[in-house]
Structure 1
Amino acid sequence: MSVEIKAPTFPESVQEGSIATWHKQPGEAVSRDDLLVDIETDKVVLEVVAPQDGVLQEILKGEGDTVLSNEVIARIEAGAAAAASAAPAADAAPQAEAPAADGEKPVAPAARKLAEERGIDPQQVTGTGKNGLVTKEDVVAHKGAAAPAAPAAPAAAEPAVIPGERVEKRVPMNRMRARIAERLLDVTQSTAMLTTFNEVDMHRVMDLRAQFKDAFIKAHDGTKLGFMGFFVRAAVEALKRFPSVNASIDGKDIVYHGYQDVSVAVSTERGLVVPVLRDADQMSIANIEAKIAELGGKARDGKLTIDEMTGGTFTITNGGVFGSLLSTPIINSPQTAILGMHSIQQRPVAENGEVVIRPMMYLALSYDHRLIDGKEAVQFLVAIKEMIENPAKILLEI
């Protein structure tokens, strides 16, 4: 019995996706819940698994093809054994790859195409996919790769490769990067964005962290104490005092949120994503640190769900982990403000009439001036500064 494999039901905010990687090829045996294919959307990578045991009969959508919600992308011969499976159907998608011959490594279609372009023997590439499958990433990472083979040229033609040639490479944006570009451009054109700056003395928070980091790890099942927990808690308290910073604009209406869902920017290979800490006002510093670590790991592995990335009333981004000294972060629409953290540097500051060396961090608050006045923005940032410089205020909520 032939069973249709369909693309998942996409959320309303996702119109279509594209086939990223096939993990099984026609003729291969599959077991129930085996990963068949990754589908990349403009927000997340969705996994499609086998609904039951059988053999992958044919692939209807090859890597790079566009797919719609619930579209049929492959078929499985349910209950068939691998040995009983014939060669792939002749009408399978052109990009579908036949099973590897005895003694040969299985090679994904995209990997084989890239290897041919680069003049690489895919059998010499170490496969990191399931059952030794050679993926596109394996070909990219392969050492000693030859230059792309040049087409044959007439004898009188000039050499295909000229010493000192300035090489260019054109590749299409992946869906996530294209969507990020679209959203950022839209924000800069549709908001009255302004940024205010301040600096914060981090020495008390750093002393607390140094004093209790080992005890914190033991008390909270291995969760590490970082700086994000303090900043999220400080932001939550500041958002309660300045509700317009936690609001959003919907047409001609202002939507005030009676909760604080804080988005935390995470950098991944595919682009920047902003998973959400739901009800951050009800979370302890330990809960915040554990949840950020969990969401960060899922983001880097491409395992975030749409729900984990949807919503959010305020965003925090930490460019300091990459060495950024100062920046003007772009608002995460439809939110109206975003807090930017930066690297910590030892700087001389005046304290009680004396010059002392302190670990200082620049803070930046970008906000939509259509809703938030400069006075509110400055007071909001000062409130965060005061709580970070006096961590007891965070715990006492004062």
Structure 2
Amino acid sequence: MTTEIKVPVLPESVADATVATWHVQVGDSVTRDQVLVEIETDKVVLEVPATSDGVITAINEAEGATVLGDQVIGVLSEGEATAAPAKTEAAAPAASSGGETLEILVPVLPESVADATVATWHAAEGDAVTRDQVLVEIETDKVVLEVPATADGVMGKIIHAEGDTVLGQQKIGELVAGASAVAAAPAQASESDEASGDGIASPSVRRLMTEKGLSEADVKGTGKGGRITKEDVEAATKPAAAAPTSAPTAAAPAAEQGERSQKRVPMTRLRKTIANRLLEAKNSTAMLTTFNEVNMKPIMDLRKQYKDVFEKTHDTRLGFMSFYVKAVTEALKRFPAVNASIDGDDIVYHNYFDISIAVSTPRGLVTPVLRDSDQLSMAGIEQGIRDLAIKGRDGKLTMDDMQGGNFTITNGGVFGSLLSTPIINLPQTAILGMHKIQDRPMAVDGKVEILPMMYLALSYDHRLIDGKESVGFLVTIKELLEDPTRLLLDI
């Protein structure tokens, strides 16, 4: 009996999709729940698994083709694999080497995330792995998910290479539990000899070869069983270095061109999301920025006086961000419109205070949320921001950490920015930019004093927040920071 391979039902806001990656070819034998193909939308990557054991008999839509929901893109014939005896024989040694074949699946994606991208494989086919070892990182537009090994064994087939778009619970690889790398090597080698090169290079190496414009025939493999390594690819891209020195005139132009080389890499999913959201904020809001400056000497003196005893008491450093968050929270209480958002023709006023903190990570700028800031002490705020920063640095932020937030604080001063106009973090209506603290001459009681001053910038949506409210909000923050005692006295 034949079964149609169909595109999954697409989300309501998605009109069409693209065939991203076929993990099988016509004639390949497959097992139930094995991922056959990945379908990429503008939001998520969907995996299409096999509904039964069988053989792929037709592929109707090639990679890169645009498809619709429920469209037939291939055919699976149920039953024993008879179309590809060579592959079956190649797989036999691996099975006999001991161990059960386990599927490596994409984790369940958050509700608002349609698909994800295979970011990095930390294991190649044939590598020995241990239980709980991270095999692959899956990147969504907000967080990076790690997929650990569920048992000791050997990496089997990698179905989805780095850069492929995948869906939640989609099969992206196989793990042979209990097998050894030595026992699995013959199966890997025989499969690489018969297949058209899929086994002689790992997915990351194949991707590098594609970027370099090389085919497998152009690269000589020096790894085990003739496998191609990244070093082999790099060596193949430097023919000029291995050329005889008897032709200096021919080598000179190549060296000169090498100084003007360029590298093209695809944008990460997070970077694309950031770009789209920033552009949307610029185009869909009446954004305006107002400025002020604050004398940071009182806070700096207070911090210098109590930072040691504060750290000893609460086991966390006393920074400036806790003062900023406290001042913003108090100002939001006094100006409810700044703590609101626009939803269609309605204004939604929030009676809670969740502050998004802009954090720079290796993957890009993210804004995890510090929740219920009005109920946190100074130590609680410092600890909460520290935890978010560490999770952002290590790629451990979850969807719960990222969702929500009524107001954003971004501190470009840590990078030396003196003044900027931050962009609103939708669907919020305002964002506060902090900047570098710099000594400047200021007039105080008719005298010139050198004071540590910092510029404040408040970008707001003028559709909801009027000039009076925006200026009053910013002046309130200024007054609270210049006299931090008011934060304690609630005045």
Tell me, yes or no, whether TM beats 0.5. yes
Cα deviation for residue 217 of structure 1 reads 1.2
Q: What CA distance in whole angstroms lies between the structure 1 residues aligned with 2:250 and 2:182?
A: 52
What's the CA shift for 1:244?
Answer: 0.9
Aligned: 1:340 with 2:429 = no
Give SS of 1:169's match: coil
Structure 1 match to 2:363: 270
Q: Is the 8 A contact 1:117 1:149 kept in 2?
A: no
Taking a change above 3 Å as real, the CA distance of residues 319 and 147 of structure 1, as seen in their structure-2 partners, is: farther
Residue of structure 2 in register with 1:90 after alignment: 191
Alignment-derived partner of residue 289 in structure 2:
195
1:67 corresponds to: 166
Task: Give me the identity figure in percent.
Answer: 61
Alpha-carbon separation, structure 2, partners of 1:49 and 1:207 = 48
Aligned to 2:303: 209
From 326, 331, 335, give the equivalent of 2:424. 331
Count of residues paired in the alignment:
371
Q: Distance in 1 between matches of 2:273 and 2:201?
A: 34
Match in the other structure for 2:489: 396
Contact preservation (8 Å) 1:25, 1:96? no
Question: Is the 2:161–2:204 contact (alpha carbons within 8 Å) kept by the matching residues of 1?
Answer: no
User: In the alignment, residue 177 of structure 2 is paired with which amino acid?
Assistant: A
Structure 1: distance between partners of 2:360 and 2:220: 33
Q: Residue 322 of structure 2: which of 208, 223, 229 is its match?
A: 229
The alpha-carbon deviation at position 21 of structure 1 amounts to: 1.3
Segments of 4+ in structure 1 off by > 4 A?
91-99, 110-118, 120-123, 145-148, 150-153, 155-158
Query: Is residue 109 from structure 1 mapped to residue 205 from structure 2 by the alignment?
Result: yes
The one-letter amino acid of 1:369's match is H
CA contact (8 A) 2:191 2:199 kept: no
Q: Is the 8 A contact 1:96 1:109 kept in 2?
A: no
Deviations 1:194-250 (A, max 9, x none): 0000000000000011111111111111x1111000000000000011111011111
CA distance in 2, matches of 1:324, 1:350: 24
Shift in Å, 1:82: 3.8
Determine the C-alpha separation between the residues in 2 that align with 1:2 and 1:249.
Answer: 51
CA contact (8 A) 2:296 2:454 kept: yes
Match of 1:361 among 454, 466, 475: 454
Mapping 1:82-161, distance limit 5 Å? 82-86=181-185, 87-88=187-188, 90=191, 109=205, 113=209, 148-149=237-238, 159-161=253-255
Q: Report the equivalent of 1:104.
A: none
Q: Distance in 1 between matches of 2:265 and 2:334?
A: 47
- Please report how far the alpha carbon of residue 165 of structure 1 lies from its aligned counterpart in structure 2 after TM superposition: 5.5
CA distance change for structure 1 residues 5 and 344 in 2, over 3 Å: closer, same or farther?
A: same
From 151, 173, 179, give the equivalent of 1:52.
Answer: 151
Evaluate the alpha carbon distance shift between residue 121 and residue 278 of structure 1 in structure 2; reply closer, same or farther with a 3 A threshold.
Answer: farther
Amino acid at match of 2:191: A
- 1:10 shift after superposition: 1.3
The CA distance in 1 between the partners of 2:197 and 2:147, in whole Å, is 20
User: For 2:256, what is the secondary structure of its paired residue?
Assistant: coil
Aligned to 1:102: none
Q: Which residue of 2 aligns with 1:307?
A: 400
2:418 aligned with 1:317: no
Equivalent of 1:11 in 110, 114, 117: 110
Taking structure 2 as the reference length, what is the TM-score of the superposition? 0.69
**Structure 1 alignment gaps of length 5 or more:** 100-106, 124-134, 140-144
Aligned-residue offset at 1:28: 2.6
More moved, 296-305 vs 167-176: 167-176
Matched-pair contact (CA < 8 Å) for 2:440–2:453: yes
Judge conservation of contact 2:162–2:207 (CA < 8 Å) in 1. Answer: no
Distance verdict in 2 for CA 1:115–1:372, change over 3 Å:
closer
Query: How far did residue 148 of structure 1 move?
Result: 4.6
Matched, 1:282 2:375: yes
Instruction: Give the Cα–Cα distance (whole angstroms) in 1 for the partners of residues 362 and 115 of structure 2.
Output: 21
146 and 339 in structure 1: CA distance in 2 versus 1, 3 angstrom threshold: farther
The 8 Å contact of residues 25 and 97 in structure 1, kept in 2 or not, is answered as no
The secondary structure found in structure 1 opposite 2:112 is coil
The question of whether the paired residues in 1 share the 8 Å contact of 2:162 and 2:204 is answered with no
2:89 maps to which residue?
none
1:146, CA displacement in angstroms? 8.3
Q: Separation in 2 of the partners of 1:342 and 1:180?
A: 22
Equivalent in the alignment of 2:124: 25
**SS at the partner of 1:160?**
helix
Asked which structure has the greater CA Rg, the reply is 2
- TM-score, L = length of structure 1: 0.84
Distance 1:95 1:389, change over 3 A: farther
Structure 1 stretch displaced more, 246-255 or 19-28: 19-28
Instruction: Say which SS state the counterpart of residue 61 (structure 1) adopts.
Output: coil
Could you report, residue by residue, the CA deviation over 1:141-193 in whole angstroms, capped at 9, with x for unpaired residues? xxxx989536999x998943436953333222111111100100010000000
Quick one: which amino acid aligns to residue 227 of structure 1? F
Which range is displaced more, 260-269 or 155-164? 155-164
**Partner letter of residue 90 of structure 1?**
E
Preserved contact between residue 62 and residue 95 of structure 1 (Cα < 8 Å): no
Report what 1:128 is aligned to. Answer: none
Instruction: Specify the alignment match of 2:256 in structure 1.
Output: 162
DSSP-derived class of the 1:162 partner: helix
Name the counterpart of 2:30.
none
Q: Distance in 1 between matches of 2:344 and 2:359?
A: 29
Deviation of 1:11 (Å): 1.5
Question: C-alpha offsets along residues 65-99 of structure 1, whole Å, 9 cap, x if unaligned?
Answer: 21112110011223334443243383899676669
SS in structure 1 of the partner of residue 421 of structure 2:
coil
List gaps (5 residues or longer) in structure 2. 1-99, 223-228
1:7, CA displacement in angstroms? 0.5
Query: Secondary structure of 1:307's partner?
Result: helix
Larger displacement relative to structure 2 (17-26 or 88-97): 88-97
Cα 1:170–1:115 change in 2 (3 A) is closer
Distance 1:93 1:305 in 2: 39
Match of 1:386 among 479, 488, 491: 479
